[in-house]
Structure 1
Amino acid sequence: MAPISTETDYLVIGGGSGGLASGRMASARFGAKTMVIEGSRLGGTCVNVGCVPKKVTFNAAAIAETIHNAKAYGFSVQETAPFDWTTFKNKRDAYVKRLNGIYERNLNKDGVEYVHGWAKLLSKNEVEVTTDDGTKSVVRAKKILLAMGGNPTPPPSIPGADYGINSDGFFDIEKRPGKVALVGAGYIAVEFAGMFHTLGTETHLFIRHKTFLRSFDPMIQETVTKEYQRIGVNLHQESHVSRVEKDASTGKLTITYKTADGTESVVSDVDHLIWAIGRDPATKDVGLEKAGVELTSKGHVVVDQYQNTNVEGVYALGDITGQVELTPVAIAAGRRLSERLFGGEQFSTARLDYDNIPSVVFAHPEVGSIGLSEPQAIAKYGEENIKVYKTGFTAMYYSMMEPEEKGPTNYKLIVTGPEEKVVGLHIMGLGSGEMLQGFGVAIKMGATKSDFDRCVAIHPTSAEEIVTLK
């Protein structure tokens, strides 16, 4: 391995989406001498154990649903074997590996020095870099970006908790499990539960409250929770796992849990238990205290609206800041930061606007959300100053199916003021992920209800219901 540089203009700690986007722009567009340090695989959480392999798995589940629904449309599809999880996993892994290679080639193309190793701050402008062979070097940098991302939250301290795996471990499962249990109520747990169930695995989901996706609008929470129960996910509401035991001969798990009334029950013969209870910022053992970087009580790096930390010349973005933990957010913040730091006077105020960021949950059905939930809108504007338009219907896709096979579609539009400015849109149903992007542009531009009304509907689609709400 060639010796690494001892000085650089811009040192990026973390080769995930945000760090790569910022580093590449600094180098390729503005000519800053840039170094990216990453100890794992390039692409970070999203590419390796997040958005990308998750969406590929969701696509497989969607195909499984289509095969199941084909009979209603006159097809006779004969499945000769269950879903081949192992073959699928191997192809998914190969796809991710190709992406890792593309990221490395892009860094080289853009003139970014890439070091596979581990970084630790010695001061606000010095970083100790340890490479794979154990060699340590000190790099001086004019500016340092912290973009280390996050890691799955460890399981609670209960007997046998370590028999489970974290959410990253989902992508290591080699063959289709017969029975799984997941703990968590956020989008990761909900997405995994939907995929497992659709691909033929008996699925148990443990949540602490009556609904999941609790950061979303109540309509989303309540309807998607009911839909999971309807399609056959075993939902254990108001419950917490208290003990996990493993059979030494079979490797199967027995999960003991308690419900709100104190009743103790078990789920046995479980192949995998997945703890999907959140993610923590990867801010430990990076030397942040030596540089004097301020952290919150939860370990996130404190930043202002320009991604500045409290230390001059040290910046942070992405999951370690706890702002909006989404890949496109980290990418956009990284690019705006490089514009501001290296782009001159014209970009002196460049920053990411964190308002009205659209997000999607690849649940069953899909969920899309942008802006304020109804409770948030009430709290901000007052109940008397908002109006809610909503609808629920059965998408035309289900018209050929029996009643018990039809999934729900629900839309809610929240507006405020005499001009009825749109401050929230929440949708669930087929195609919501693709649908939200265009509506997100409109809402970011300040659309009003009359703007939606003036848009001629595209018929027949589910999306037309959003521009015809009464």
Structure 2
Amino acid sequence: MAAVRLPTLAPRILLSVSQQRLCAARAFSDNQGNSYDLVVIGGGSGGLACSKEAARLGKKVAVLDFVKPSTQGTQWGLGGTCVNVGCIPKKLMHQAAILGHSLNDARAYGWDVPQNVPFSWEWLSDAVQNYVKSLNFGHRVQLKDKNVTYMNALGSLLDQNTIKTVDKNGKEQILKAHDIVIAVGGRPYIPSEIPGAVEHAITSDDIFWKTDPPGKTLVIGGSYIALECAGFLTGVGFDTSVMVRSSCLRSFDKQMSHLVTDYMAAGGTKFLWKCRPKEIEKGSDGRLLVSYITEKGAQQQDTFQTVLFATGRRPDTESINLEGVGVKVDQESRKVIGGHEDDNERSSVSNIYAIGDVLHERPELTPVAIQAGKKLAHRLYGKAGTQMDYTKIATTVFTPLEFASIGLSEDDALIKYGEDILEVYHAFYKPLEFTVPGRDVSQCYIKVVCHREKPQKIDGIHLTGPNAGEILQGLAVAMQCNVSFDQLSKTVGIHPTCAEEVVKLHISKRSGLDPTVTGC
């Protein structure tokens, strides 16, 4: 940052960036009313974490959060995507589907469960929404307890220190801020070039707040959101199809992605591969006629009660005026470009930062946003602070057979290191709980991608199976500690668990041996 000239008769003094920040912070703290040390635009997980941590460090903080209605008019409360239309309701509906499978398994374990146990979408929807609303209320209480000012208003930048807010009634306010954090996340994208799509289709913004049963559903897209939604809809008994233009879970390991979709297909989810929607028309009976093009160019049609687009998400930055105040955004993704002045979250404007899904080329994951927000608050206002480490981030796709992953995929590792450098250990295993009811275990699989040279540095761990996320959390800690395959192999497993299969791995792909686990 360029040095500033002090308005004094003394000789010119050049101030460092930290000294400039200290002087500016004192000036802002001396002001009253609508002046703040920090204003966070966006009330999702990252924005809330950053604001509460800054307030805990003694700063005057405000959070702006305003939910624009979805294309179908759905709105929700404070907490962002994860709380309202993402992780939380998704996991609860995933659990509903798991319980449905468990009812079938229960008969094999001696429980006299009726063959046709009724399911109520209305009951599930009401329970999920009530829990989400309790979280909305809890977030508001937490902000109040920590003396963070909450404004249910849309914020936009007038300059690098000035924010205009507009509430639902059109009332405007001007805020001054020493620091600004952009944490607006993203929203699902519906391609407007497909006739009828915007008018008649829903997204993940709507499915969790839908009070009437979705019925026969078409999910368009191959993302993890598409597969998770299709998975729980099939699991609770709805006729569900997934239309995929190319492949599913493109940013994940290809072999693992195929296992996930194979398991879903075996469980009743239909896949329309290499197809793309052409038009959606609403009939007089309320059903949706979808015209689509197959891989060979033929046009086909089918009728659905619900069409859900999961074709990607875009950052909610259009109305903020980022570029108008000098914040550089990636022209393709429209996300904030961070990493300026050796700070991972700092934008091209020195006092404006971005965290979470709105930050370019960073994982779109709630725990990432939360940790990045807390670390940023400590760098700005604490005595010490560290940069967010965006490597070795674990994640789980909550499909019917869960898929957990950390580190490099086998495909990316081969590109980075080459086949001669790598060793891949793998196993198909049989979860004990699947054995008595005779569940299909052909897609339960684990692989560890590592170096051949001892002690065999691990580059990636990937697994499909029940409770995959719970298993990988512990392995994520090990990855942060740079665990080697040698150390993994020396670890004694907990028997009988699915997790122990990771430490029992001993067959490499290079060997060509059968990786199927045949006993204890």
* Same fold, judged at TM 0.5 (above): yes
Where do 1:246-285 residues align within 5 Å?
246-248=282-284, 250-268=285-303, 270-285=304-319
Aligned to 2:276: 240
Aligned to 2:18: none
Aligned to 2:495: 459
| Pair 1:329-2:368 in alignment | yes
| Pair 1:193-2:220 in alignment | no
Counterpart contact for 2:86–2:204, Cα < 8 Å: no
Q: Which deviates more from structure 2 when the two are superposed, residues 46-55 or residues 283-292?
A: 283-292
Inter-partner Cα distance in structure 2 for 1:76 and 1:237: 40
Counterpart contact for 1:394–1:408, Cα < 8 Å: no
| Pair 1:408-2:443 in alignment | yes
Where do 1:48-127 residues align within 5 Å?
48-78=84-114, 82-127=118-163
Deviant stretches of 4+, over 2 Å:
79-82, 131-135, 175-178, 405-408
Inter-partner Cα distance in structure 1 for 2:130 and 2:209: 13
Where do 1:160-179 residues align within 5 Å?
160-161=196-197, 162-179=199-216
Inter-partner Cα distance in structure 1 for 2:116 and 2:251: 41
1:395–1:128: structure 2 CA closer, same or farther, 3 Å change rule?
same
Aligned to 2:64: 37
Q: Which amino acid aligns with 1:205?
A: V
The answer for unaligned runs of 5 or more in structure 2 is 1-31, 68-76, 507-520
Inter-partner Cα distance in structure 1 for 2:371 and 2:488: 27
Inter-partner Cα distance in structure 2 for 1:131 and 1:177: 33
Secondary structure (helix, strand or coil) at the match of 2:335 reads coil
Secondary structure (helix, strand or coil) at the match of 1:165 reads coil
1:245, CA displacement in angstroms? 1.7
Aligned to 1:320: 358
> What is the Cα-based RMSD across aligned positions, in Å?
1.4
Q: Which deviates more from structure 2 when the two are superposed, residues 271-280 or residues 73-82?
A: 73-82
Q: Which amino acid aligns with 1:293?
A: V
Aligned to 2:169: 133
1:407, CA displacement in angstroms? 5.8
Total equivalences in the alignment: 459
Q: Which amino acid aligns with 1:336?
A: K
1:82, CA displacement in angstroms? 2.3
Inter-partner Cα distance in structure 1 for 2:81 and 2:294: 33
Counterpart contact for 1:365–1:407, Cα < 8 Å: no
1:445, CA displacement in angstroms? 0.8
1:156, CA displacement in angstroms? 4.3
Aligned to 2:345: 307
Aligned to 1:292: 326
Counterpart contact for 2:98–2:400, Cα < 8 Å: no
Aligned to 2:7: none
Counterpart contact for 2:323–2:329, Cα < 8 Å: no
Question: Could you tell me the percent identity over the aligned residues?
Answer: 35
Inter-partner Cα distance in structure 1 for 2:298 and 2:262: 22
1:177, CA displacement in angstroms? 3.0
1:175, CA displacement in angstroms? 2.7
Q: Which amino acid aligns with 2:365?
A: L
- After superposition, what is the alpha-carbon deviation per residue over 1:25-78, rounded to whole angstroms, capped at 9, x for unaligned? 0011x1011111111321100001110111111111111110122122122212
1:266, CA displacement in angstroms? 1.8
Inter-partner Cα distance in structure 2 for 1:303 and 1:79: 55
Inter-partner Cα distance in structure 1 for 2:311 and 2:125: 24
Inter-partner Cα distance in structure 1 for 2:381 and 2:302: 56
1:18, CA displacement in angstroms? 0.4
1:23 to 51, 63, 66: 51
Aligned to 1:392: 428
Secondary structure (helix, strand or coil) at the match of 1:224 reads helix
Secondary structure (helix, strand or coil) at the match of 1:122 reads strand
Inter-partner Cα distance in structure 1 for 2:368 and 2:441: 34
The structure with the largest alpha-carbon Rg is 2
- After superposition, what is the alpha-carbon deviation per residue over 1:125-168, rounded to whole angstroms, capped at 9, x for unaligned? 01111233322121111100011111111224122213111221
Q: Which deviates more from structure 2 when the two are superposed, residues 391-400 or residues 47-56?
A: 391-400
| Pair 1:203-2:240 in alignment | yes
Inter-partner Cα distance in structure 2 for 1:218 and 1:154: 26
Secondary structure (helix, strand or coil) at the match of 2:152 reads strand
- After superposition, what is the alpha-carbon deviation per residue over 1:272-291, rounded to whole angstroms, capped at 9, x for unaligned? 00011110001101121221
| Pair 1:224-2:260 in alignment | yes
Inter-partner Cα distance in structure 1 for 2:210 and 2:144: 33
Q: Which deviates more from structure 2 when the two are superposed, residues 42-51 or residues 410-419?
A: 410-419
State the TM-score, normalized to the length of structure 2. Answer: 0.86
Secondary structure (helix, strand or coil) at the match of 1:384 reads coil
Inter-partner Cα distance in structure 2 for 1:133 and 1:264: 47
1:310, CA displacement in angstroms? 0.2
Inter-partner Cα distance in structure 2 for 1:219 and 1:308: 37
Secondary structure (helix, strand or coil) at the match of 1:383 reads coil
- After superposition, what is the alpha-carbon deviation per residue over 1:165-194, rounded to whole angstroms, capped at 9, x for unaligned? 122111132232331000010110000001
Inter-partner Cα distance in structure 1 for 2:237 and 2:156: 45
Secondary structure (helix, strand or coil) at the match of 2:98 reads helix
1:260, CA displacement in angstroms? 1.1
1:46 to 74, 82, 88: 82
1:353, CA displacement in angstroms? 0.3
1:79, CA displacement in angstroms? 6.0
Secondary structure (helix, strand or coil) at the match of 1:129 reads strand
- After superposition, what is the alpha-carbon deviation per residue over 1:171-220, rounded to whole angstroms, capped at 9, x for unaligned? 132232331000010110000001000100000100012x4112111221
Q: Which amino acid aligns with 1:306?
A: N
Secondary structure (helix, strand or coil) at the match of 2:208 reads helix
- After superposition, what is the alpha-carbon deviation per residue over 1:94-132, rounded to whole angstroms, capped at 9, x for unaligned? 111110111011011111111111111000001111233
Inter-partner Cα distance in structure 2 for 1:229 and 1:376: 26
Secondary structure (helix, strand or coil) at the match of 2:159 reads coil
Inter-partner Cα distance in structure 2 for 1:451 and 1:96: 42
1:133–1:252: structure 2 CA closer, same or farther, 3 Å change rule?
closer
Aligned to 2:515: none
Counterpart contact for 2:396–2:404, Cα < 8 Å: yes
Q: Which deviates more from structure 2 when the two are superposed, residues 123-132 or residues 6-15?
A: 123-132
The answer for unaligned runs of 5 or more in structure 1 is none
- After superposition, what is the alpha-carbon deviation per residue over 1:388-429, rounded to whole angstroms, capped at 9, x for unaligned? 0011122111111236x5563100101124320111000001
1:292, CA displacement in angstroms? 1.0
